Structure 1
Amino acid sequence: MDSTKCFRIEKDAQIPFNNKVDYCIGTGRMGLALQKEYQEQLALVQEEIGFSHIRGHGLFSDDMAIYQEYTDENGKKHAEYNFTYLDLVMDSYLKLNIRPFLELGFMPDKMASGEQTVFYWKGNVTPPASYDAWCELVQATLRHLMERYGEEEVVTWPIEVWNEPNLPGFWKDADMEEYFKLFARTFAAIKEVDSRFRVGGPAICGVEDEKWIRMFMEFCRKESIPVDFVTRHHYTTELPEKDGHYGYAKLREPEEGFANLQTTRDIVDSFEEFKGMEIHITEFNTSYIPNCPLHDTNRNAAYIARQLSRLGDVNESYSYWTFGDIFEELGVPFTPFHGGFGLVANGGIPKPTFWTFKFFKDLQGTCVYRSDEAVIVKREDGSYRGIVWNMTLEGTGEDICRTYQLPIEGKECFILTKTVDEATCNPLKLWHAMGEPSSLSEEQKKLLKEAAKPFVEADRAAVQDGCAQVNITARENGVVYFEVKAVEDKSDRGYCYKRVIGK
């Protein structure tokens, strides 16, 4: 069966496409930024992709050591703040040209009202014993950042209050009323420091999301809180099946997730005073567990391509969770390919999904074509860039062949393709062939990095009837990026390429 389809792009086509792929990226808890491998992975991501903001947990957790107490000679307790590690982390971020999307949490143990914690690293998820002390901590931290990095810089950093309070594991008893109290007090404290700070929430995920979004907007209306933006999370797999150290999860139909996001948009817009307000997805991925082998696969890369083509429709931004696999929610990983959230596996090895983000970052221009399997943009110089993906949920084994006719001036065109699929860019397969070593040698790392690069092809073709014809074949779970631009022959006198290659 011939699955080839041909599409002719109109000369003046303009298709809505909001590409915010590079606004924000996720990270494990902030304290991990003190590790060398973490910084190397982030540097790689910034060099190839380049995100504007970074968001993660644990700003106020004890490993960052910000909140301290001492008792004076009269037996009275006093709070004091230690910003040593915070400065190291923020300095490293800014050096890599990335700024924090500040998530305020979790609770310092000395300030907490209870002992409930989450994760291997025991982030405290109980409300503060004293809301006054919490607000003073938030204000002191912001004032320190403003003093160190400048007011005009720091007030541009978005601030989110807590993480997933609708889940009892992240906020004691998933107490909505208590979270709203935390939000209101924190919002007022931040605005007291500088009204230019932009503050949002409720950072919910999954469970009763419609109820939480609606009640949050009603609370802000009732209390006259001029919230600056709304935040939520977005994951797209079924409940995982556990086996040893791993959780195996099936992908959901993408339309289910898009419909859920549209519901959030509709709820926010149903409040006249909040209509059109920014919605930031401050976490998204396929699976929501950090030990899901799906994350390391080409299937993940193709599925995420579909997500990136649509998430900007109703959201201001969408932050992939996470940039790298230095990550310890369930403990320190046993192997380099353990199903971690990251775009980069430990050892500095890009996963296939890394390139999906790189390709979308390079997709700058006016959108002239968009479907459930492709996006094409036209640049100001008349050239084109596009991405085609072959997303499968259960696996079909079938290629898709697409031909695009692109209006272009000139007699010849240069066509470049970069292919990421199970045959051409699949470090996971190579690692498996190696015997799945848990500790990689330098030689093995080097080989895996070579196997983690897209396959690059180039060609020159005649422009016919004012169009360049681009033929793309995307294998199952493949992602293909292409560029097309007019080219003029500038050969040196006497040089003949055909003679060189024997034709």
Structure 2
Amino acid sequence: MFLRRFFFALLLAAFICIVWSGSVCLGQVKIAPIVVDVDAGHRTGPYEAVWSYFGADEPNYSYAANGRHLMGELSQLSTAPVYLRLHNLLTTGDGSSSLKWGSTNVYREDAQGKPIYDWTITDKIFDAMRDNRITPLVEVGFMPEALSVHPKPYRHTFPDGSVYTGWSYPPKDYEKWAALVTAWTRHLHERYGDAAVNTWLWEVWNEPDIEYWHGSPVEYDRLYDVTANAIKKVLPAAKVGGPEATGISAGKSEDFLRQFLEHCASGTNAATGGVGAPLAFISFHPKGSPKTVDGHVRMDIGHQLRAMELGMRVVASFPEWKKTPIILGESDPEGCAACKGAQNGYRNGPLYGVSVAEATALAGELAKRNGVNLQGAVTWAFEFENQPIFAGFRELATGGMSNGVDYLVDKPVLNVFRMMGMMGGDYVSVTSTGALPVEEVVKDSVRVAADVNAVATRSLHRVDILLWNYHDDDVAAEPAKVQLAVKNIPIRGVRVQRFLMDGQHSNAYAAWQKIGSPQQPTTEQFLELQRAGRLETVGPAAALATKNGRAMVDLTLERQAVMLVRLSW
């Protein structure tokens, strides 16, 4: 009986093999390609550059040679405004920087306690942004030493000891604080003019639900009221928002955000005595939680997305604020840009870039699902001065010096922003047979099958499709075969171009490893790394025939890769 069943199974397998032309053949399975369908005629809404926001702890790097260079590159990403959010704009010090530290020395007091204002260093910061066409997201903080209720110790020594020193405390005199904010706002207005300053965003402090603020929630609400009122005395139309709470989770951070929104809606304003406070945007920080597992990095994008969604739900629960723009003030795979360690090694290579593509796209989906208005997602990454090349910091570019010249080398993640910046017009409908349901990614992250997904835009003479192959685990895997099908193209023939960031393309880190990972590259090596850090095309642009308004493109997409396919006519 057993032999009869065995031979019957063999005959059945052979029959299936013949019928399906080898798709299933005696235990060998030919995996069908992932099909990505794009309907270029079905517009679903305007393309918003929610990704065009960046930030850093160290404001003084902005006017260093490499900081200026990087800002110039950021301003070229897109025709949309590019925003920069910086900590420590009011921190006391001589302008020197170190990890998680910067200073401007805007405020001192004389022997009689009278204020002394000095805008020299903040002018350098804002001049550098102006010169490179960067729009400030002005973070009003932190507390000058002479105003802090607990000034000593003041400058921290990260990574040793606590970073939450005297700058993180409330003001000892709210009138002096308000006068400082008013004077600074007036100076910025006079220096940069209406046309510029009216495009800026303004906010109060950073992460006041944790040790960044050594005061109660009620004291933060007072600080917000006083600061917003001081800004608006000079700039009545200023867009002031907050509270830049930490990644929202059930408990303290959720409670903090709720009480702040309640205060802005119906609380007593500490500055005016009226009801509520101005709130032009609402901000909070969703972060992931990567770990090292079995010798490799395992991301946790689900952790980041759950924080996004809970924050969005909190906002949506307030009818007064449901349509208020949301800015994810620090939206990152984890919490510390200046920290190093094995679990942060992913920042040098393609995994960081593809995680940004995944998180940005799904943030948009979560906003739609919760009926809220997502305006921006700040990537907390810039560049670090006087640090080893490819040291593992979360940054957009790394650099060094050779023969007295500073060289900046773009990391792979920056090429993902370049691809997102090339898109424009309106979103169009996309489906992918390799996409995971957003509910599954939020709940379980991406731990079994990879998420092979895409978004697409349509402008007057082109369609741009951004595709990615993401998995939490940074391990080798078979590449995905993708069949891209685009319909409703209004012309017979198109031109196709492909841009790619993966393990070997648009990847200066891989190029650095190939030349032996030198800690002190020569001038020639720096130039080679800069070339490798640019966005690469895959093959030359080519003509592509269409049939009945449809175009087909076959692609191979490595694990941890992002590709932009452009069809133009």
Same fold, TM exceeding 0.5?
yes
Count of aligned pairs = 467
Residue in 2 aligned with 1:428? 509
Write the distance in 2 (CA, Å) between the matches of 1:228 and 1:9: 35
Write the distance in 2 (CA, Å) between the matches of 1:59 and 1:404: 47
More displaced 10-residue stretch of structure 1: 188-197 or 347-356: 188-197
The match for 1:107 among 124, 138, 143 is 143
- Residues 130-145 of structure 1 aligned to structure 2 (within 5 Å): 130-145=173-188
Residue in 2 aligned with 1:217? 261
- Residues 306-317 of structure 1 aligned to structure 2 (within 5 Å): 306-313=358-365, 314=367, 315-317=374-376
Deviation at 1:119, TM superposition (A): 5.2
The match for 2:553 among 460, 464, 470 is 470
Write the distance in 2 (CA, Å) between the matches of 1:133 and 1:196: 23
Write the distance in 1 (CA, Å) between the matches of 2:331 and 2:62: 21
Write the distance in 2 (CA, Å) between the matches of 1:322 and 1:298: 15
Write the distance in 2 (CA, Å) between the matches of 1:307 and 1:113: 40
Unaligned runs of 5+ in 2: 1-29, 96-103, 269-275, 368-373, 400-406, 436-452
One-letter amino acid matched to 2:498: T
Deviation at 1:323, TM superposition (A): 3.1
Deviation at 1:341, TM superposition (A): 2.0
Residue in 1 aligned with 2:83? 53
Q: CA 1:275 to 1:11, structure 2 compared with 1: closer, same or farther past 3 Å?
A: closer
Q: In structure 1, the residue corresponding to 2:76 is in which secondary structure?
A: helix
Q: In structure 2, the residue corresponding to 1:368 is in which secondary structure?
A: strand
- Give yes or no for the alignment of 1:391 onto 2:470: yes
- Residues 223-372 of structure 1 aligned to structure 2 (within 5 Å): 223=268, 224-238=276-290, 250-254=298-302, 256-290=303-337, 291=340, 292-313=344-365, 314=367, 315-326=374-385, 333=387, 335-346=388-399, 347-370=407-430, 372=435
* Deviation by residue 1:176-218 (Cα, 9 ceiling, x = unmatched): 2322221122122222333211111111112632111111112
Deviation at 1:478, TM superposition (A): 1.0
More displaced 10-residue stretch of structure 1: 364-373 or 135-144: 364-373
- Give yes or no for the alignment of 1:485 onto 2:514: no
* Deviation by residue 1:331-361 (Cα, 9 ceiling, x = unmatched): x53x111222221122311111111111111
Residue in 1 aligned with 2:55? 26
- Give yes or no for the alignment of 1:66 onto 2:109: no
Write the distance in 2 (CA, Å) between the matches of 1:279 and 1:483: 30
Write the distance in 1 (CA, Å) between the matches of 2:155 and 2:455: 40
Write the distance in 2 (CA, Å) between the matches of 1:48 and 1:265: 28
Q: Greater CA radius of gyration, 1 or 2?
A: 2
- Give yes or no for the alignment of 1:81 onto 2:81: no
Write the distance in 2 (CA, Å) between the matches of 1:227 and 1:49: 27
* Deviation by residue 1:233-289 (Cα, 9 ceiling, x = unmatched): 122124689x9xxxx9631144x4334322222222222222211111121221222
Q: CA 1:98 to 1:459, structure 2 compared with 1: closer, same or farther past 3 Å?
A: same
- Give yes or no for the alignment of 1:126 onto 2:169: yes
Q: CA 1:309 to 1:22, structure 2 compared with 1: closer, same or farther past 3 Å?
A: closer
Q: CA 1:49 to 1:349, structure 2 compared with 1: closer, same or farther past 3 Å?
A: farther
Write the distance in 1 (CA, Å) between the matches of 2:153 and 2:255: 25
Asked whether the 8 Å contact 1:323–1:342 carries over to 2, the reply is: yes
Asked whether the 8 Å contact 2:244–2:284 carries over to 1, the reply is: yes
**Taking every aligned residue pair, what percent have the same amino acid on both sides?**
22
Q: In structure 1, the residue corresponding to 2:331 is in which secondary structure?
A: strand
Write the distance in 2 (CA, Å) between the matches of 1:113 and 1:94: 34
- Give yes or no for the alignment of 1:171 onto 2:213: yes
Deviation at 1:405, TM superposition (A): 2.3
One-letter amino acid matched to 1:393: D
Residue in 1 aligned with 2:17? none
Asked whether the 8 Å contact 2:241–2:278 carries over to 1, the reply is: no
Asked whether the 8 Å contact 1:19–1:312 carries over to 2, the reply is: no
One-letter amino acid matched to 2:355: Y
Write the distance in 2 (CA, Å) between the matches of 1:176 and 1:354: 37
Q: CA 1:270 to 1:350, structure 2 compared with 1: closer, same or farther past 3 Å?
A: same
Q: In structure 1, the residue corresponding to 2:509 is in which secondary structure?
A: helix
More displaced 10-residue stretch of structure 1: 186-195 or 341-350: 186-195
Write the distance in 2 (CA, Å) between the matches of 1:480 and 1:11: 18
Q: In structure 1, the residue corresponding to 2:90 is in which secondary structure?
A: coil
One-letter amino acid matched to 1:399: P
Write the distance in 2 (CA, Å) between the matches of 1:191 and 1:165: 22
Write the distance in 1 (CA, Å) between the matches of 2:516 and 2:213: 41
Asked whether the 8 Å contact 1:25–1:319 carries over to 2, the reply is: yes
Residue in 1 aligned with 2:544? 461
Q: CA 1:250 to 1:132, structure 2 compared with 1: closer, same or farther past 3 Å?
A: farther
Deviation at 1:318, TM superposition (A): 1.0
One-letter amino acid matched to 1:150: G
- TM-score in terms of structure 2 length: 0.77
The match for 2:230 among 184, 189, 213 is 189
- Give yes or no for the alignment of 1:15 onto 2:57: no
Deviation at 1:427, TM superposition (A): 1.9
